[in-house]
Amino acid sequence: MPDFSLSPEQESLRDLARKFARTEMTPHAAECDRAARFPEEIYRKAYDLGLMNLNVPTEFGGSGLSLLDQCLIVEELAHGCAGMTTSIIANCLALEPILLGGTSEQKERFLAPFCREYHLASFCLTEPSGGSDAGALRTRARKDGDGYVLDGEKCFITNAPHASLYTVFATVDPALRHKGVAAFVVPRSAPGVLPGKDEEKMGHRASSTSTVRFEEVRVPESDRLGPEVDGFSLAMRTLDQTRTPIGALATGIAQAALDHAAAYSLKRQTFGKAIAEHQAIQIKLANMAQAVHAARLLTWHAAWAIDHGARGTLESSIAKCFASDAALHVADEAIQTFGGYGYMKEYPVEKLLRDAKLTQIYEGANEIQRTVIARELLRAYA
Ligand code: CAA
């Protein structure tokens, strides 16, 4: 029988994240959203509490949490602010290729400093020309003596201006498509690493997103992750791990939208009674609750499957895709429940809709998730 109960340790992790979100994130969420402020003091507090680098094993000083544990935390943080959560968990995405493809020496060298003190890292895969087509990279990795020279531009890179380290995917020959992709670790201090200015975004405005240019950046061979031809697989295996927490993040947004809508419906009076007493609103809330519950269960299932050794390609895409679609829908219904007030920035629900939108796009647009799901599904019938 599946067991959905959480252990006492998991309950306390969830409580810790919930308390942090409610006391440190929620009170600043509207202001950071309005001003597009990157609240680094909050990220440092998250680090101090062990709420960053969640996937790094304890032997390197990380939290060493299971994916399910990570999802419990991420959902709670996202309830407070999705943008802040994106910035808090970006290290997990950036460091995952090192965990999956690094040697013991590389893991010790690159991961341990992250767990000794607060640092940010960025995952540099997406490019302006290729977008979702991750096999079509143009950033070149030219072999040069005992290393490589990287040249090219990445875009939509979370935390890039604040990061001290980048995991970078580049091609030794674009004609080889995915078979030419190699992965590298590049410190911010390397000459030629040029993060761009913050993009002005619709949502996730407490997070920072920019381009990064690599201009003739020298990288020693010792900083390449895995065999030269392994970069694409490493990127895909990384995303197999990290898409499930995006499902959790989307679930957190959806839960917040439901909480706001339900609480408001009990206070707001129309036609002589609380709108919660109108069936139209009850049906809305019931549908929202179903979507939140299903998103959470799919996310927990994907995390559980990966924790139990599954590759997780199918499960993580299902969780990410469903939960992000659910988040957008639930946030939309929360606005509808608030009526005209929901459209006003004075109330918290319009932010949730803007934040939910990105979860349908980043870490693989939902059209890509559906492509992945269909491919995995059809494999079983071939
Ligand atoms: N694990 C391991 N290997 C995999 C894999 C996986 N999950 N998926 C594919 N591969 C392998 C295939 O087996 C194949 O290997 P062989 O050549 O040995 O047969 C190879 O990779 C190529 O696979 P495909 O033919 O499936 O490749 P494709 O070009 O058709 O593309 C894709 C596949 C799934 C569409 C991929 O391009 C993709 O995932 N795109 C989306 C990229 C993405 O998610 N970007 C988000 C960036 S991160 C971000 O948003 C972060 C942020 O900062 C917020």
Token digits of residue 86? 């994106």
- Contact 361 CB / ligand 1 (< 6 Å): no
pTM of the full structure: 0.97
> Which residue bears the tokens 């992000």?
324
Q: Which distant-in-sequence residues (6+ apart) come within 8 Å of 347 by Cβ? A: 260, 338, 341
Alpha carbon of 63 to ligand 1 centroid (Å): 28
Alpha carbon of 208 to ligand 1 centroid (Å): 25
Annotation marks residue 350 as catalytic = no
Burial of 171: CB neighbours in 10 Å, binned 0-12, 13-18, 19+: buried
- Contact 135 CB / ligand 1 (< 6 Å): yes
Question: Taking Cα atoms as reference points, which of 285, 296, 297 lies closest to residue 258?
Answer: 285
Q: Which residues of 52-71 are buried (b: 16+ CB within 10 A; e: fewer)?
A: bbbbbeeebbbbebbbbbbb
pLDDT at 380: 87
Question: Ligand 1, from 89, 157, 178: best to mutate by most atoms within 8 Å of Cβ?
Answer: 178
pLDDT at 1: 52
- Contact 249 CB / ligand 1 (< 6 Å): no
Q: Which residues of 109-124 are buried (b: 16+ CB within 10 A; e: fewer)?
A: bbbeebbeebbbbbbb
Cβ atoms of residues 50 and 17 within 8 Å: no
The type of residue at 15 is: D
Per-residue pLDDT of the chain (382 residues; tens, 9 = 90+): 578 899 999 999 999 999 999 999 999 999 999 999 999 999 999 999 999 999 999 999 888 899 999 999 999 999 999 999 999 999 999 999 999 999 999 999 999 999 999 999 999 999 999 889 999 999 999 999 999 999 999 999 999 999 999 999 999 999 999 999 999 999 999 999 999 999 999 999 999 999 999 999 999 999 999 999 999 999 999 999 999 999 999 999 999 999 999 999 999 999 999 999 999 999 999 999 999 999 999 999 999 999 999 999 999 999 999 999 999 999 999 999 999 999 999 999 999 999 999 999 999 999 999 999 999 999 989 8
Q: Are β-strands 121-124 and 165-171 bridged in parallel, bridged antiparallel, or unpaired?
A: parallel
Token digits of residue 66? 């299971």
Alpha carbon of 135 to ligand 1 centroid (Å): 7
How many other CB atoms sit within 10 Å of the CB of residue 137? 28
Residues 334 and 356: their CA atoms lie apart, in Å, by 12
- Contact 310 CB / ligand 1 (< 6 Å): no
Residues 162 and 209: their CA atoms lie apart, in Å, by 10
Residues 58 and 360: their CA atoms lie apart, in Å, by 32
Residues 313 and 239: their CA atoms lie apart, in Å, by 8
Could you give the angle at the alpha carbon of 110 between the alpha carbons of 108 and 116, nearest 5°?
80
Question: Taking Cα atoms as reference points, which of 233, 204, 329, 297 lies closest to residue 2?
Answer: 297
Burial of 270: CB neighbours in 10 Å, binned 0-12, 13-18, 19+: exposed
pLDDT at 138: 97
> Which residue bears the tokens 């959203």?
33
Q: Which distant-in-sequence residues (6+ apart) come within 8 Å of 10 by Cβ? A: 68, 69, 72
Alpha carbon of 170 to ligand 1 centroid (Å): 14
Residues 1 and 181: their CA atoms lie apart, in Å, by 43
